[in-house]
Amino acid sequence: MAASLPFHITEHVIDSQHIREYPLATTRAEDALKLVVKRYTPKSNPNPQSGDLTIIGAHGSGFPKELYEPIWEGVLSQLHDKGIRIRSIRIADIANQAASGVLNGEYLGNSLSWFDHARDLLNMINQFKADMPRPLLASAIISGQANYTWVSRAEAATHFKKQFKTWDPRVLERWLQYGLHGLPGSDTVTP
């Protein structure tokens, strides 16, 4: 799937911002959360120049970062048509969702704040500042997904193919691949 994308994709695991909005955002105050970040570098721009655009993406609640890959393809194409070059696109899963949430599972508390992700993205920009000169563009794609549980991945796929039948098939494919994960000790899956 990713081989057909017009990007080189690099995944990073970085530290999140240590200070959280609420004291019970982590199980213990000294617990450090991580963020799973993907960098999409256009294959058409192997030698970025001063003035090339860096895009910082923010995903909607319950939707993993990979769902936006078809959007990034469209953005790349449309900006190319306007003579605007993209240096890279970076997007991180929120600390308690998708790949980041799985990585942080044992450390997550029960008092989470949306403001933490904004601080985490700023921290990400600071960590990669040498590779992210200005101009920077932040792009938030806000949406929400209710949590359900299915007895199998096939049952979940059937549900989502009906629920999201108007979605671009490439996005639905990524949702089924990255948006669902198994619960420990069972065949049960959940977003």
Q: According to the model, what pLDDT value does residue 139 have?
A: 80
Q: HSE of 40 in the Cβ direction (CA atoms, 13 Å)?
A: 25
Model pLDDT for residues 100-159, shown as the tens digit of each residue: 999 999 999 999 998 999 999 999 999 999 999 999 988 876 755 545 677 788 888 898
Burial 4-33, CB ≥16 within 10 A → b, else e: ebebeeeeeeeebbeebeeeebbeeeeeeb
Distance CA 135, CA 49 (A): 11
User: Going by DSSP bridges, is the β-strand pair 136-140/34-42 parallel, antiparallel, or unpaired?
Assistant: unpaired
Task: Please give the domain boundaries of the chain with CATH numbers for all domains.
Answer: 2-145 (3.40.50.1820), 147-191 (no CATH)
Q: Amino acid letter at 44? A: S
Q: How confident is the model at residue 180 (pLDDT cuts 50, 70, 90)?
A: confident
Model pLDDT for residues 46-84, shown as the tens digit of each residue: 999 999 999 999 998 889 999 999 999 999 999 999 999
Higher pLDDT pick, 160 / 104: 104
pLDDT greater than 80 at residue 182? no
Q: According to the model, what pLDDT value does residue 183 have?
A: 67
pLDDT greater than 80 at residue 185? no
Q: According to the model, what pLDDT value does residue 44 have?
A: 97
Type and span of the H or E element at 92: strand 86-92
- Closest to 88 (Cα-Cα) out of 64, 34, 124: 124
DSSP state of 188: -
Distance CA 90, CA 70 (A): 14
Residue 152, helix vs strand vs coil: coil
Q: Is 42 exposed, middle or buried (0-12, 13-18, 19+ CB in 10 A)?
A: buried
Higher pLDDT pick, 54 / 186: 54
Model pLDDT for residues 1-54, shown as the tens digit of each residue: 445 899 999 999 999 999 999 999 999 989 999 999 999 999 999 999 999 999
Q: According to the model, what pLDDT value does residue 152 have?
A: 82
- Closest to 108 (Cα-Cα) out of 183, 22, 179: 22
Question: At what angle are helices 169-178 and 153-163 packed, to 10 degrees?
Answer: 150
